Structure 1
Amino acid sequence: MKKKINKKLQRLNADTEKIFQQIEQLSPEKLEDASNGWSIIQVLSHLNDAETASLKYMKKKVQAGDKMKNSGVGNSLRMWMTNQALKSSLKWKAPSYISNPLSYPLEEMKSKWMETRAAIQGFVEEYPDKWMNKLVYKHPMGGRQNLNNAVDSFIYHQIHHMHQINRIKKQLGV
């Protein structure tokens, strides 16, 4: 199972690198232009904030150890439906605890995000195999999920915001 999760993390990192490649030629002014809502940097900051908050929650949740509840078909179905919504270009409000992202210079943002990803990778590597079916993660829409579904949600959350970045770029004329 960890091999599957590690492949998903590789995909997530590759997709993130594509985002950075698509925006690296933009000026700091364009990256920080929030005239139509969030700026591109704020979108990236939001993605990092969501992953950081998720990791913090999972680190706290594993303290319950074997007492964590098991994941079932209903959990997976709910996450699948959530991921289908996330990969669409539909819009909705972010949860309040991550709805006011800060703006950073691009290189600082990239560095912060890579630190978060390294921490997630470390968490996955240390996560006991016997807990792979435990509900360690809580998605605002998808509910409680196992580690595999948590990583899926990171992938689909990023896809969702790639739509947003493309809309912003179009609005900026780039």
Structure 2
Amino acid sequence: MKEVIKNKLQRLNSDTDKIYQLIDDIPQDKLLDGSYGWSIIQVLSHLNDAESASLKYMQKKMQAGDKMKSSGAGNSLRMWLTNQALKSSLKWKAPSYISNPPSYPLEEMKSKWMETRKAIEEFVNEYPDEWINKLVYKHPMGGRQNLDRAVESFIYHQIHHMHQINRIKKQLGL
């Protein structure tokens, strides 16, 4: 099962590279332009903050060890429905605790995000096989989930925000 999760991490990183290609030729001032809501940099910052907060939650939750509940069909269905919404181009407000992401220069943002991804990869590598089906993650819409669906939700979350980046680019005339 860990190989499946590691493959999803590779997909997540590959999709991040696609985002970087999508914004590669955009000047820094346009990346920081929040005229139409969040700037592109704020979108990237939000993605990193969401993954970082999720990792911290999972690290804390893991302390419960064998006391964590096991995942079931209901958890799977709820996350599947959430992911279907995320991969669509539907819009909704971010949870209030992450609704005003900070802005950084692009290279600093990339560095922060890379650190988060390395930490997630380490977490996955060290995660005990016997807990692979434990509810270690809590998604704001999808509820409690296992590690596999946590990483999968990062993929769909990123897809969701790729739609947003494309909208921002269009609004900025890029």
Q: Is the partner of 1:138 in helix, strand or coil?
A: strand
> RMSD of aligned C-alpha atoms?
0.4
Aligned counterpart, 2:153: 153
TM superposition shift of 1:24: 1.5
Q: 1:108-161 CA distances to partner (integer Å, 9 max, x unpaired)?
A: 000000000000000000000000110000000000000000001000000000
Structural mapping, 1:85-164, within 5 Å = 85-164=85-164
Amino acid at match of 1:107: E
The alpha carbon displacement at 1:100 in A equals 0.8
Alignment map for 1:45-64 (pairs within 5 Å): 45-64=45-64
Q: What residue number does 1:41 align with?
A: 41
* Cα drift, residue 98 of structure 1: 1.1
Deviates more, 1:15-24 or 1:129-138: 15-24
Q: Aligned partner of 2:142: which letter? A: G
Report the Cα distance in structure 2 between the residues aligned to 1:154 and 1:110, rounded to whole angstroms.
Answer: 16
- Once residues 143 and 21 of structure 1 are traced to their aligned partners in structure 2, the CA distance between those partners, rounded to angstroms, is 32
Task: Report how far residue 97 of structure 1 moved.
Answer: 1.4
- Give aligned-pair identity as a percent: 80
Unaligned runs of 5+ in 1: none
Report how many residues are paired: 174
Structure 1 residue 173, shift from structure 2 partner: 0.7
1:89-120 deviations in Å (ceiling 9; x for gaps):
00111111111100000000000000000000
Secondary structure in structure 2 of the residue aligned to 1:7: helix
Question: What letter corresponds to residue 10 of structure 2 in structure 1?
Answer: Q
Unaligned runs of 5+ in 2: none
What letter matches 2:161 in structure 1?
H
Which amino acid counterpart does residue 2 of structure 1 have in structure 2? K
Partner-residue secondary structure (3-state), 1:144: strand
Deviation at 1:21, TM superposition (A): 1.3
Residue 42 of structure 2 aligns with an amino acid whose one-letter code is: Q
Give the secondary-structure state (helix, strand or coil) at the position aligned to 2:138.
Answer: strand
**Poorly superposed stretches of 4+, deviation over 2 Å:** none
Distance in structure 1 (CA, Å) of the matches to 2:29 and 2:100 = 19
Partner of 1:25: 25
CA distance in 2, matches of 1:109, 1:24: 13
